[in-house]
Amino acid sequence: MNSGEEALVVEDAVLRFRGIVAVDSVSFEVGAGTTFGVIGPNGAGKTALLNCISGIYRLDQGSILLYGQQIQHHQPHRITALGLSRTFQSTEHFREFTVRDYVMLGRAQQARCSVLGSLLLWPIAERAERAERQRAMAVLDRLGLVEFATERLSDLPYGVQKRVDIARAVAAEPKIMLMDEPTSGTTTSERDAVSHTIRTVAATGVTIVVIDHDVDFVTRHCDRVLVVNYGRAIGVGTPKEMLGRPEVVEAFLGTPVGHSA
């Protein structure tokens, strides 16, 4: 449910890469407590947009407000500290981590002891680490993943890895979560499990912004969607409204509606 407060506001966002416009004057708002989708064909600028919101890329023009605070010039760690977390398309660089340790990474921003502090205050650091392990296990339990806690990511089915990455993002206790292609590469049954995980997260009141190639998946989960193509916004509305627009159908099919390829 939308409480009336805007969790995220993007205004006239522009991102360029050496003259190529990846995000072209895109504007939208996401209500607190809602699930918002971003859809479009390959190369439409969806992930680039998420990278701008999370601070990986810097806008050339425009603004991004997180609960009323401008963040377009913030570093990623500062944005995370304000209550934003995100998932990624791949966990490849963390494949040798156990599930529990990977989920604990989600709370790195909340870590209270520096390396030097850990050496000088070892008993306190040990208690803090034990508490973090317990928090990670609680997240895994809530999302139905506790049975995998000691498994390495590399040993798990791809769909489970996707759910574990969501758990890592949840561990940061975010107000808003960005999800980048949570069902890419998954089977039908894995996609259903990912859906259940996302619904569990949404039920806690976390605002979610999700991009995914599976339009049906986005339609089932999202209150509103933004459709982008070639970096530009085609429109924002309910999934039913947007998928009923000829220009949206044309963007996905690649040919004008009513014409054969």
Does 113 fall in a domain? no
Q: How confident is the model at residue 36 (pLDDT cuts 50, 70, 90)?
A: very high
Task: Indicate the number of domains in the chain.
Answer: 1
Confidence of residue 75 (pLDDT cuts 50, 70, 90): very high
Joined tokens for residue 124: 């306190």
Q: Which is nearest to 104 in space by CA: 74, 131, 86, 127?
A: 131
Q: Which single residue is written with the structure tokens 């039920």?
A: 203
Task: List the CATH number of the domain containing 16.
Answer: 3.40.50.300
Q: Which of 2-16, 29-43, 62-76, 112-126 has the lowest mean pLDDT?
A: 112-126
65 contacts 72 by C-beta, under 8 angstroms: no
Query: If pLDDT is split at 50, 70 and 90, which confidence band does 111 have?
Result: low
- pLDDT for 261 equals 40
User: What's the pTM?
Assistant: 0.86
| 155 occurs within a structural domain | no
Distance CA 57, CA 15 (A): 8
Residue 259 lies inside a defined structural domain of this protein:
no
- Write down the pLDDT at residue 110: 56
Beta bridge partners of 21: 16
Q: Is residue 10 part of a domain?
A: yes
> Does residue 140 form part of some domain?
no
pLDDT in tens, 178-226: 999 999 889 999 999 999 999 999 999 999 999 988 888 888 999 999 9
Dist CA 9 CA 13 (whole Å): 10
Q: Indicate the SS3 state at residue 2.
A: coil
Name the average pLDDT for the chain: 88
- Is 154 domain-assigned? no
Angle at 82 between CA 115 and CA 117, to 5 degrees: 15
The C-alpha angle 38, 206, 101, rounded to 5 degrees, equals 100
pLDDT of residue 2: 45
Is 208 within a domain?
Answer: yes
What is the span of the domain harbouring residue 13? Answer: 6-97+168-253
> What pLDDT score was predicted for residue 94?
86
Pairwise pLDDT comparison (83 vs 106), residue with the higher score: 83
Alpha carbon distance 96, 25 (integer Å): 40
Overall residue count recorded for the chain in this entry: 261
pLDDT tens sequence across 139-161: 999 999 999 999 999 999 999 99
**Region 84-92: what's the mean pLDDT?**
86
Does pLDDT of 52 surpass 90? yes
Instruction: Let me know if residue 203 belongs to a domain.
Output: yes
Determine the pLDDT at residue 202. 96
